[in-house]
Chains A and B, each alone.
Chain A
């Protein structure tokens, strides 16, 4: 993506939050939503725009789990590893997804179709194990259901 276009997007976000330093986390969320991840250039623009040292911006980005410094796949898979999902075998679902996609948690597939992450709880515990793909919630997952569900995403 052209760098200027990204820069314009980031500036738009900073403007929305009135250059308020304390909104850094929201600015990062919106920037990531606009670009897909947080490239170094975006962090530099945010640092200048909010007048926060780049090192501080970087430390916030790496502290919180929600942010990614590398590009992500078209579909973000989040497997819930909250306690309710854990006692119902969520770890086996993760293993199966890793096997099918040939990647480890935290990685992208080579064709950038998927990124696999885990999340601590999405709060839909009645249906555990839960797998969230993009904005879709898939409940009562089992290793056997994995390939069927993944098929729906291209």
Chain B
């Protein structure tokens, strides 16, 4: 690869890539993200490669192996462009027919089309599938257009043009633009990104670190994984722009070790960006240099907390510290450090390219842009959903998610991961943004959304989350370590039919102490599942305690109740 030395050369490279491509030549995109791999997408890819050769179609069609487009429920997903023909649940045995019929003769293979059950009709085009229709896929949509292993694919869709533009702006103008856009951190806390950048830029010291938090520990959430796997360059581009604005020359991407494909694709992306001179010394001939390394996590939920993550980056035990001095002043190795989540970084190129005025028109008064949610649990269409901030839960769960399967009724949706809260049916029309979720006793978190049907016991769910958090508490501070343990004992006894009068009040007392006295956000938010389930489903707690009954029929308390 030849180094790109100026924005003009980047434009020339894009043109030469585009010239080699024939717009009218069909491209078959095959999802090969971790979700689809569980369906066996690797063998679908292999089948396409073999069959294209066998049927002599090399000159008639191109294959593109892509990351996750989001509709995991119907994997393996195959889309034929430019006609946008959408085939779902594709197996290796379907491949010869797709090639001979659709590519060879232009016919549609009906049985592979998506059926809209509500209207009982087959849908041909991807864009007409209800799951995609109500979404606004500004960030995630690009996953469908690129092979994450090929930087040229990203450049072809205008990748790195935001970087080229940013390098011609002053750092102050970039920060002002990001502030004006209203972008807030997608990792959970929702802190204004521009303000964070500004304090790190203004902090004293020559060395400043730029960090990407890809330690997506929230069980049931996988949007960061899909971005790093499916479009790693968008995250890199955001980071390089951030580094230039903040004045940092070294950075880290901290990825969960449980995501091997994300680690692999990010590593490859860094190598390719370096080879093109988009990362490393003298980026695009601007004189600005930025070096990036990948570090893997060790499987600790608490390492999603910024100070714990930084400790782990230093090779230490991942314990958080009190933040009386912000990490923007003293973070990694005691130097000013700016940490943002994967999705936050991926939003940055968009803001630079399209401008803060455009960006800030999307969303609600206090929360701008889109948010990607991982819609999972008892839901018809499991997958990744990107919607403008302020979209109601009802739209997400019913219009996009297709409602609850098996004819069951909706009971609650847990947002914000294990330390979020359970939101009941009566709040389904809640517009989802940072502030509304907090008011409802939950939080945005990183964007996990777990739907629960009527057969779910809310006390047992609270016990599940508490047990998870107890295992993940680092043990450094007493309120979190002991508080969670005691909460779990109480919840164990309630779900086993040994609950006593006063247990609910005791849980509330413990929760109040943990909120006030825990060292980090893990402990401060750990009681959310218990508190929100008491707030909205108190009757279920009372049924367990007073009548020794589990209304959902989940808890095994029959024997204990008989005594």
Q: Do A and B come from one complex?
A: yes
Of B216, B298, B299, B450, which one neighbours A84 at CB under 8 angstroms?
B450
A37 proximal to B (CB < 8 A): no
Tell me the smallest distance from the CB of B149 to a CB of chain A, in Å: 18
Contacting residues, chain A, for B468 (C-beta < 8 A): 120
A133 beta carbon closer than 8 Å to chain B: no
Closest-CB distance, B500 to chain A (whole angstroms): 26
| Residue among A22, A26, A59, A84 with max Cβ neighbours from chain B (10 Å) | A84
Give B444-497 interface residues, CB cut-off 8 Å to A.
448, 450, 452, 456, 461, 464-465, 468, 472, 474
Kindly identify, within residues 40 to 69 of chain A, every residue whose CB is under 8 Å from any CB belonging to chain B: 50, 52, 56, 59-60, 63-67
Selected from A21, A66, A83, A122, the residue in CB contact (under 8 A) with B376 is A83
B221 touches A121 (CB 8 A): yes
A86: chain B residues at CB < 8 Å are 219, 464
Is B220 part of the contact surface with A, judged by Cβ < 8 Å?
yes
Contact: B219 with A121, CB < 8 Å?
A: yes
Whether A121 and B258, one on each chain, are in contact in the complex, defined by CB atoms closer than 8 angstroms, is yes
A87 touches B299 (CB 8 A): no
A119 to B, closest residue via Cβ:
B258
Chain B residues, CB < 8 A from A123: 34-35, 216, 221-222, 225-226, 258-259
What residue in chain B is nearest A139 (Cβ atoms)? B38
B378 partner, pick from A66, A87, A119, beta carbons under 8 A: A87
Q: Provided the pairs A123-B259, A124-B38 are in contact, do residues A25 and B72 lie with their beta carbons within 8 angstroms?
A: no
Nearest Cβ in chain B — how far from A26, in angstroms? 6
> Is residue B377 contacting chain A, with contact meaning CB distance below 8 A?
yes
User: From residue B26, how far is it (CB to closest CB) to chain A in Å?
Assistant: 27
Q: A127 CB to closest chain B CB, in angstroms?
A: 5
Bound-state CA distance A38–B54 (Å) is: 48
In the bound complex, do residue A125 and residue B374 qualify as a contact, i.e. CB atoms below 8 Å apart?
yes
With a cutoff of 8 Å between Cβ atoms, the chain A residues found around residue B39 in the complex are 127, 139
Q: A23-B295, A66-B298, A83-B219 are in contact. Are A126 and B315 (CB under 8 A)?
A: no
Closest to B332 in A: A22
Min CB–CB distance A55 → chain B (angstroms): 11
Q: How many angstroms between the C-alpha atoms of A88 and B377 in the bound complex?
A: 7
Q: Indicate if B105 sits at the interface (CB-CB under 8 A).
A: no
B382 contacts A by Cβ under 8 Å? yes
**Are B34 and A137 in contact, CB atoms less than 8 angstroms apart?**
yes
Given contacts A26-B295, A84-B220, contact A64 B318 (CB under 8 A): yes
Contact present for A84 and B382 (CB under 8 Å): yes
A70 to B34, CA, bound (A): 29
**A82, B220: Cβ atoms under 8 Å?**
yes
What's the least CB distance linking B412 to chain A, in Å? 11
Nearest chain B CB to A142's CB is how many angstroms away?
15
Residues of A within 8 A of B318 (CB): 63-64
Are the CB atoms of B219 and A21 closer together than 8 Å?
A: no
With A86-B464, A125-B374 as contacts: A64 and B418 at CB distance below 8 Å: no
With A83-B376, A122-B34, A130-B38 known as contacts, the answer to whether A25 contacts B297 (CB < 8 A) is yes
- Whether the pair B464, A28 counts as a contact (CB closer than 8 A) is no
Interface assignment of A81: CB less than 8 Å from any CB of chain B: yes
Within 8 A of B (CB), among A126-140: 126-128, 130, 135, 137-139
CB-contact partner of A29 in B220, B296, B383, under 8 A: B296
Q: Report if B414 contacts A (CB, 8 A).
A: yes
How far is it, in angstroms, between the C-alpha of A119 and the C-alpha of B465 when the chains are bound? 14
Is A67 touching B298 in the complex (CB atoms < 8 A)?
Answer: yes
- Interface size counted on chain A using CB atoms at 8 A: 40
* Chain A residues in 8 Å Cβ range of B216: 123
Contact mask for chain A residues 134-151; partner B; CB cutoff 8 A; 1 contact, 0 none? 010111000000000000
A121 engages B222 (CB within 8 Å): yes
Bound together, the chains give a CA A130 to CA B35 distance in angstroms of 10
Smallest beta-carbon distance B430→chain A, Å: 20
CB of A47 to closest CB in B, whole Å: 12
B377 & A84 in contact (Cβ 8 Å cutoff): yes
Chain A residues within 8 Å of B499, by CB: none
Is A24 on the interface with B (CB-CB < 8 A)?
A: yes
- Hey, which chain B residues are within 8 Å of A50, CB to CB? 315
Distance in Å: Cβ of A69 to nearest Cβ of chain B? 14
Chain B residues within 8 Å of A119, by CB: 258, 299
For B73, B220, B374, B474, which residue has the most chain A Cβ atoms within 10 angstroms?
A: B220
Contacts A83-B220, A87-B452 hold; do A25 and B376 have CB atoms under 8 A apart?
no
B182 is an interface residue with CB less than 8 A from chain A: no
B102 beta carbon closer than 8 Å to chain A? no
CB pair A24 B376 closer than 8 Å: no
Q: Does B342 contact A (CB under 8 A)?
A: no
CA distance A109 to B414 in the complex (A): 37
**A25 adjacent to B377 (CB under 8 Å):** no
Contacts of B450 in A (CB 8 A): 83-84, 87
Q: Is the CB of A83 within 8 A of B418?
A: yes
Question: Are B35 and A126 within 8 A (Cβ)?
Answer: yes
Cβ of B465: which chain A residues have Cβ within 8 Å of it? 83
| Beyond known contacts A25-B312, A63-B318, A122-B34: 10 more, CB 8 A cutoff | A65-B298, A84-B450, A87-B461, A120-B299, A121-B217, A123-B221, A125-B382, A126-B376, A127-B35, A137-B38
Please name 15 pairs of A and B residues whose Cβ atoms are closer than 8 Å in the assembled complex, sorted by A: A23-B295, A63-B474, A65-B300, A66-B297, A81-B219, A83-B448, A83-B465, A84-B220, A84-B450, A119-B299, A123-B222, A124-B38, A125-B374, A125-B377, A126-B383
Q: Which residues of A contact B (CB under 8 A)?
A: 21-26, 28-29, 50, 52, 56, 59-60, 63-67, 81-84, 86-88, 119-128, 130, 135, 137-139
Binding site for A on B (CB under 8 A): 34-35, 37-39, 72-73, 75, 216-222, 225-226, 257-260, 295-301, 312-318, 333, 374, 376-378, 382-383, 414, 418, 448, 450, 452, 456, 461, 464-465, 468, 472, 474
10 closest residue pairs by CB, A with B: A64-B298, A82-B219, A123-B222, A126-B72, A24-B315, A65-B299, A121-B219, A126-B382, A84-B376, A83-B220
